[in-house]
Amino acid sequence: MTDKKNIVPFLIILSVLGYTLNILFHRFLTHQMEADAYGDFCIGLNVLEIAATLILFGTELSVMRYIPLSERASDSRMFIGWNFSFIRKVFMIYFLFVVMIFLSLIIIKIYDTELFDSVHTVVFMLLVAPFAALYALLIAYLNGKNNVLHSAIIDSIGRYILLWSVFVLAFNVAKIKAGSILLAGGYSFVFLILGFIALKVYNSKYEPIAPMKLLLLGQKEHSDQESQWKTSSIKYAFANIVFLIFLYIDKIILEITQLSEHVVGYYSVLVILVGFFVLISQASTYVLSPHISKFLHNPDSESELQALINKSNLVVFILTLNLFFIYLFFGERILGYYGKNGEYSGVYEALVYLAVSQIFLEIGKLALRFLLYGGFTDYINKVFVLCVVFLFVAGSTLTYFYGLNGIIAAHLSTSFFYMLAFIVKVKKEFGGLKVFSFY
């Protein structure tokens, strides 16, 4: 495999290629749906991510902390067995919840077609969460083994190619309406296929695992570390859920406070575009996470980690700056390609300000990873709760009076606080390590 010190550029290229497919995919959706229907669809995707995260209960983050420390195949197999046993009850309860929703939808479809047609996309996306959760967990296992290239190919390229294929068939061949439950079925199909591929890759390269057997029967062997794994996962779960609420509460505020539902669609396109910044920093995070875990376990590896951080930060800085200038000078033209009549180009200024806000978030994420693995979850949770409360109060007020510009202003100020809160804490706790190369 490629030298880990030189792997970041390859991961970023894969991520950017995949996300370009994602952006084109959403451009396709804006041409198939009205702005209000597209906004509802995007909120459905956000709720899907929150539901899948709830099912995993923080274990997708525990994977990145504990599997890199496994010295033998039996150690990681023991953790994976515990992982599935731990989420088993949550998974089963949610599965029963899904069955109840599905049966209710069938009854509504039979007796009240108009009511069925008005069901929000969020309800349909809740049905997809178990498939999304299993897929996310299998990708986390590959990343935990530092097999970031295979996981990036599956998650960044394979996912969007499959989504493109399924939705082009759905809209252009099957002529499915926007908001149809069949679109949620398309997502389920994609997660099933990709999860199967990820499982095959993991089983061929590492210790074989049987997810469905572990979910249904549990694990017979037990480890004396299970208490530690459980405690960490519960803390990660709370932090992760609060963080996701922080990420997506802005759309919920817009959905509730704005009479013009198309505004949510406009904002959703902006979020998709600034997601490029997430991809750039995410590739670096995937590479650094196993090394951060090893550093916290063995501080003697500080010099190796610092060299890797410096190299990663340089690549991320250059690409982030270039992407920002692209949005600054060509953002209005890019937005003009969305929608049926170029209607999205009117929110160009909002794109620039949201890009700055997203950069603040990405700067804080590396610091967050150190604090998360270092056991500072109480501090992280306090910061997240403060961010959610501030964004909700300020966002609701400003959005009511100023619309889209109001939620952007609230997002920008909250992101700046988020960045400072984590940077200052990391400097205090890991003073000898320059997490941002210069600080």
Q: Which pLDDT does position 1 carry in this prediction?
A: 42
Non-local CB neighbours of 296 within 8 Å, separated by 6+ positions: 373, 374
pTM of the predicted model, to two decimals? Answer: 0.81
Nearest in space to 292 (alpha carbons), one of 216, 372, 351: 372
**Residue 217: both structure tokens together:** 């029967």
Q: Which pLDDT does position 6 carry in this prediction?
A: 61
How far apart CA 118 and CA 363 sit, in angstroms, is 41
**Residue 95: both structure tokens together:** 């599965």
Q: Is 415 in contact with 361 (CB distance < 8 Å)?
A: yes
Q: Which pLDDT does position 8 carry in this prediction?
A: 64
How far apart CA 101 and CA 94 sit, in angstroms, is 10
Residues of the chain scoring pLDDT < 50: 1-3
**Residue 334: both structure tokens together:** 């890019």
- According to DSSP, residue 341 is labeled S
Burial of 399 (0-12, 13-18, 19+ CB in 10 A): buried
Query: With b meaning 16 or more CB within 10 Å and e meaning fewer, what string describes 260-293?
Result: ebbbbbbbbbbbbbbbbbbbbbbbbbbbbbbbbb
Q: Find the helix packing angle between 73-111 and 226-257, rounded to 10°.
A: 30
Burial of 204 (0-12, 13-18, 19+ CB in 10 A): exposed
Q: Which pLDDT does position 130 carry in this prediction?
A: 92
Non-local CB neighbours of 81 within 8 Å, separated by 6+ positions: 214, 219, 221
How far apart CA 436 and CA 312 sit, in angstroms, is 10
- According to DSSP, residue 176 is labeled P
Q: Which pLDDT does position 2 carry in this prediction?
A: 45
List, for residues 118-129, the tens digit of each pLDDT value. Answer: 777 888 899 999
How far apart CA 410 and CA 395 sit, in angstroms, is 5
Cα angle at 85 between 47 and 80, to 5 degrees? 90
Number of other residues whose CB lies within 10 A of the CB of residue 24: 13
